A and B are shown apart, each in its own frame.
Chain A
Amino acid sequence: MANSPVTTSEDSSGLMAKAIKEGLFAGLLALGMFLLYVGIETYQNIDNKLVWRTRWGLLAIFVIASAVGRFLVVGFIRPHIDQRKLANAKAGIPEVSDHKSFFQTHFLKIALVALVLYPPMAVMLNGVQGSLKFVDNFGIQILIYVMLAWGLNVVVGLAGLLDLGYVAFYAVGAYSYALLSDQFGLSFWILLPLAGILAAFWGIILGFPVLRLRGDYLAIVTLAFGEIIRLVLMNWTEVTGGTAGISGIAKASVFGIYSFDVGASNNFAKAFGLPMSSAYYKIFLFYVILGLCMLTAYVTMKLRRMPIGRAWEALREDEIACRSLGIDTVKTKLTAFAIGAMFGGFAGSFFAARQGFVSPESFVFLESAVILAVVVLGGMGSLIGIAVAAIVMVGGTELLREMEFLKHVFGDDFTPELYRMLIFGLAMVVVMLFKPRGFVGSREPTAFLKERKAVSGSFTKEGHG
């Protein structure tokens, strides 16, 4: 933006006036927006009556923050950025550079090493018991979402089929493990692939009726499918235990060699002479889900380079052209649904083994929406982008639980995790404003003649159902 104000002496006073004006306006806007949301709080008093009180202090913080923020952006940050861009352009430094730093080229290896070293680091820094929070709440929780989002990515990101009921396959996987291990005493390692197969089967079942639907219609039917599965789980009390769910689900074992059951003779901690702690199980689970994520990523990357993966992406770009090239779009769609559902099933059975308890409450529509949001924020089709989005969105909301210091700012009855969804939504809006194609908007071509050039997001389509 060469024509935006460059801070010469006569311009700067005008710029300050503009900054102050915009800052005041932003403050006014924030006052209008937050007056009712933040300024007034409703709560139930001891007689169970709804009463309200004002929080002018908090409102003032919101308004001042937005006014000062806008003032700084207009007055200082933006001119600074413009100036730097102008200087770069004058010096002939291109804005988009082909040069990749060491970190960028080896990003995947560095990330994998960091993930493998994560649990030992957590144990070293916080002790065995203290590591529980980091390994379980952050590590496993985020990785489950990474895996779910990577699974959904096959359906939404590659094949361009908008699936709002993905959590149904997660539920199928979880209940498959819970029920089959409960009834037949089968081990986690047998039931994991079985849960994947069952979920894939349900993916095909869902796929058949929706094959002819596109766009909004497809989204509605998949949404309904997700709800049907949840309602069945809720009401088929004899089998699923209804709303009470299934508890006491068997833990996973180290391939049957070591068990994590406290009473078992081959208990992991006993066998290695370690003090009893539930942390070992979580650390073990961390590596299991890490392995599952790696499997998902490997299969997805491999499939993209296969004819079926290319057909998925072609389907997203133009279904009619696909048919004119002799591609059976019915089979192509079904495989996308099945593969996506299979990964959801894996994640589900892992979830059941981790929690030891499943109930329909874990599989509400909100979960589907969060997984879909992670896929969209990450950049449809990009594995790295989706992983980053999962870390930011899921890790970020988990982080809210840790923000005890906010209580000192906003008062003792302030519970940050209640603002989880508000912040989640805000973060989505911000990301979509600045990165409308998600964190990683470009796509890597699956084959090349001379050089591998990333395809800009402005050429790819989102799919039409």
Chain B
Amino acid sequence: MTSGTQTMNQDTILNVEHLSMRFGGLMAINDLSFQVKRGDITALIGPNGAGKTTVFNCITGFYKPTMGMITMSQRGGDKFLLERLSDFDITKQAKVARTFQNIRLFGGLTVLENLLVAQHNKLMKASGYTVMGLLGLGSYKREAEAAIETARQWLERADLIDRADDPAGDLSYGAQRRLEIARAMCTGPELLCLDEPAAGLNPKESLALNVLLNGIRDETGTSILLIEHDMSVVMEISDHVVVLEYGQKICDGTPDHVKNDPKVIAAYLGVEDDEVEEIIHEELDGSAQ
């Protein structure tokens, strides 16, 4: 364990400490600790069933972790303990947005409406919790136009501007992925959690996704945490990689470091039995030190 055990500093946006999640007899995540640096793209990788999506669900409040602490530090210095917040408050207050492995768009609403729903809380306040807006008072009209403008910018960035008035369910798969990311960004997050954003994309669409994610990081300063199987995406864009296997962290570091780690290679490719033993010995030696 090299770079993972850095001390927590100002640059850490999300700090996961001793996270455990138990489903009945199954320990889906076992004492997991890692950090996400502000302004980084951090990838969470691992074989199927390693517990990646469970980690996501714990961070975004869809599961309540059995043990552990998840601290979100905002730019302004506000800190939130995510394991204590309900799922919608994590987006609303802590400013952590997410997408889903199986895309969850509002298929019967238009692309534009999807992005407007994402700005619900802002608009709700502007409309005086509906009352003022209903009476035509206050700043609702101006805010509604601003919301459409925000949506328009994200549609341009996600290359969906021509489909703005079509139902979201009518988009192609790749476009739906991009729309879901754009929708998450419309909530104004500081940390964006993407669950397999490149799944089911063709190479060209993957490339466009890389450009979109790099753009999000560089232009809005949003930190990104993503789960991904597509190594071309992971190695290309991530600054930091955390590898999970059987609910435990087996490696943590830069893409190059992770790529060459024997444990990661073993986890992904499988190895001969004697090599496994070798690794186990190494691990025992490592932990004894």
Contacts and interface: CB of A to CB of B under 8 A. Distances in A.
A449 B98 CA distance: 25
A325 B187 contact: yes
Interface stretch (B6-14, B160-168, B260-268, B276-284): B160-168
Nearest to B162: A450
A35 B2 CA distance: 85
B104 A460 contact: no
A447 B170 CA distance: 17
A297 to B, nearest CB: 14
Interface string B125-144: 00100100110000010001
Q: How large is the interface on B (under 10, 10 to 19, 20 to 34, 35 or more residues)?
A: 35 or more
A337 B283 CA distance: 58
A318 B106 contact: yes
A459 B167 contact: yes
Given A313-B106, A317-B106, A453-B165, A325 B116 contact: no
A212 to B, nearest CB: 13
A324 B91 contact: yes
Contacts of B164: 448-450
A310 B148 contact: no
A460 B167 CA distance: 9
Interface stretch (B27-35, B107-115, B217-225, B242-250): B107-115
Contact of B113 (A321, A324, A447): A447
B116 A308 contact: no
B107 A449 contact: no
Contacts of A452: 165
Interface string B85-97: 0011111100001
A323 B121 CA distance: 12
Given A324-B100, A453-B165, A459 B105 contact: no
Contact of A459 (B60, B92, B108, B161): B108
A299 interface: yes
Contact of A306 (B97, B118, B134): B134
Contact of A326 (B92, B109, B112, B155): B92
Interface of A: 299, 302-303, 306-308, 310-311, 313-314, 316-318, 320-329, 335, 443, 445-453, 455-456, 459-461
Main SS class of interface, B: helix
B162 to A, nearest CB: 9
Contact of A455 (B105, B108, B187): B108
Given A307-B119, A446-B116, 8 more contacts: A310-B116, A313-B106, A322-B117, A324-B60, A325-B183, A326-B90, A449-B152, A459-B107
Given A307-B127, A325-B117, A326-B92, A447 B148 contact: yes
Nearest to B186: A325
Given A451-B165, A459-B167, A459-B170, A326 B91 contact: yes
A103 B121 CA distance: 40
Contacts of B152: 449
Nearest to B93: A326
A323 B87 contact: yes
Contact of B106 (A303, A321, A453): A321
B254 to A, nearest CB: 30
B120 interface: yes
B112 A323 contact: no
B112 A447 contact: yes
A290 B183 CA distance: 41
A439 B105 CA distance: 26
